[in-house]
Amino acid sequence: MKEEIRVAIVEDDAEIRQLFGLLLDNSPGYQCVAQYADAESALDQLEVAEVDVVLMDIDLPGVSGIQCTEKLKQESPELNIIMLTVHEDDAALFDSLCAGATGYILKETSPVQILEDIRTAHQGGSPMSSAIARRVIQTFHQPQKASPLSERETEVLTYLVEGQNYRTIAEALFVSPNTIKAHIKNIYRKLEVSTRAEAVSKAHKDRLI
Amino acid sequence: MKEEIRVAIVEDDAEIRQLFGLLLDNSPGYQCVAQYADAESALDQLEVAEVDVVLMDIDLPGVSGIQCTEKLKQESPELNIIMLTVHEDDAALFDSLCAGATGYILKETSPVQILEDIRTAHQGGSPMSSAIARRVIQTFHQPQKASPLSERETEVLTYLVEGQNYRTIAEALFVSPNTIKAHIKNIYRKLEVSTRAEAVSKAHKDRLI
DNA sequence: TCAAATTTTACCCAAATGGGCGATTGACGC
DNA sequence: GCGTCAATCGCCCATTTGGGTAAAATTTGA
């Protein structure tokens, strides 16, 4: 026999909060163990050991749902937090994910679907609409703008990133330090920088390494 | 009236390929416009203008499905490519997403669900199981290990990342260049590095900036 | 086959960097 | 009150770096 999923709600709108509470308590397999009207109360009173899944409103007065998520996850990394939002906002989405949210769903989601999403989160999945999933996976797709560097220059760049100097790079590549110096000059010209630190920054930013 | 979704299949197993083809052609709203047994044929013959969604096997002989995806997306960034795989493999998943895959589903997915997933992809969503979604969103959650740097040091570090020297950083912060030098020495000690390039690398790696 | 780009090497020199040592002030905690 | 740390500043010195200029061998593409 499955344990009931213990759910906590953090939501400032009393009506919505109570609605969700009723929904949960009247659904077999679910139990609403706590309701909070703001992030401060949740951070104060929520016992992470007694909760499986948190439904977290993003737009809370005072401390935001995102900050609350970040703090709760610091206390208990295993806690599953599902963000609730009314509007699809890219910044809020990614800030939520970085804060440690497990799922991201719209408030207009149907009650049945929300119960399903809570179960998904509890069982190790991440509930989100396929439209939101698309926005998430698009962040991975970065068509690499053809690197302006030659193969050898890219190789030298990897040693620059490691903080090596002319001499040690030269030894690693079995060439003269003067050669490395020439390569680095060319790298600087092509990346439009003039110091190692800048080159390393640009290398990271443009995914040249 | 909706247009039919034009689907192409890239899959080396003839049986599976034909099975999917039959499934599509016998489902209203779907049309299998092409089948390829390997990536090379697909890259040669596939007309991106005539295809809405590609079902791409990951494990192809010769050129992999991931490489094929990368090339197809270069030709046509709007093309929706759904990866098919038998085993859940983290590296393959993220390589696929970086290559530009729209979705990622297991071959054992039911025919009805696959049709649904194709429609999802075509309508701007990203089909994937909630377990896979969890693996994806977990990459965003990096609990920032408390930075070892003081506030001032972090500030100096941001200038280092920009490639600035002692003098200009000093001017920006209205202190002596010697002070900046002292800060940088402390940064080096705390990050266990000894050059600007290394410090910048570490700053990026550990998300200190 | 000829031009362009890449890879290789060299030298000079001013400026920047990194390491070592020391010092003062103020804030915070115990 | 005392120790710790952060932030501030100073000096010395060897090493490294970056910019300028030049040139040869090799590869690649047109």
B65 CA to C15 C1' in angstroms comes to 52
**Closest CA of chain B from A131, distance in Å:** 4
Please give the average per-residue pLDDT across A134-157, as a whole number: 90
Across the interface, whether the CB atoms of A136 and B141 are under 8 A apart is answered no
Residue of A58, A60, A63 whose CA lies nearest to A43: A63
pLDDT in tens, B43-71: 999 998 999 999 999 999 999 999 999 99
Q: Quick one: pLDDT at residue B2?
A: 64
Q: Quick one: pLDDT at residue B33?
A: 96
pLDDT tier for residue A1 given thresholds of 50, 70 and 90: very low
Q: What is the CA radius of gyration of chain A?
A: 25
Question: Which bases in strand C are touched by protein, i.e. have an atom under 7 Å from a CB?
Answer: 5-11, 16-23
Q: Quick one: pLDDT at residue A208?
A: 86
Q: What gap in Å lies between CA B67 and CA B100, rounded to an integer?
A: 10
Residue A5: which H helix or E strand, with range? strand A5-10
Task: Name the nt closest to A164 by C-alpha to C1'.
Answer: D16
If 0-12 CB within 10 Å is exposed, 13-18 middle and 19+ buried, where does residue A175 land?
middle
Across the interface, whether the CB atoms of A125 and B128 are under 8 A apart is answered no
Taking all residues of chain A, what is their mean pLDDT, rounded to a whole number?
A: 94
Candidate from B124, B163, B165 with C-beta closest to A134? B124
Which residue of B lies nearest to A204 if distances are taken between CA atoms? Answer: B204
Between A29 and A3, the higher pLDDT residue: A29
Q: Quick one: pLDDT at residue B189?
A: 96
Q: Which protein residues have a C-beta closer than 7 A to any atom of strand C?
A: A 150-153, 170, 173, 175-176, 178-179, 181-183, 186, 195; B 165-167, 181-182, 184-185, 188, 194-196
Q: Quick one: pLDDT at residue B1?
A: 44
Residues of A within 8 A of B141 (CB-CB) are 73, 97-100
A166-173 and A177-191 helices cross at what angle (nearest 10)? 110
Residues of A within 8 A of B74 (CB-CB) are 143
H-only helix segments in chain B: 14-25, 39-45, 65-75, 90-99, 111-122, 130-138, 151-161, 166-173, 177-191, 196-205
This prediction has a pTM of: 0.85
A97 CA to D12 C1' in angstroms comes to 51
B117 CA to D14 C1' in angstroms comes to 66
Is the Cβ–Cβ distance between B76 and B88 less than 8 Å?
no
Under-50 pLDDT residues of chain B: 1
Q: Quick one: pLDDT at residue A2?
A: 64
pLDDT tier for residue A166 given thresholds of 50, 70 and 90: very high
Q: Quick one: pLDDT at residue A147?
A: 86
Across the interface, whether the CB atoms of B125 and A125 are under 8 A apart is answered no
Residues of chain A with pLDDT > 90, as a percent, come to: 91
Q: What gap in Å lies between CA A60 and CA A53, rounded to an integer?
A: 18
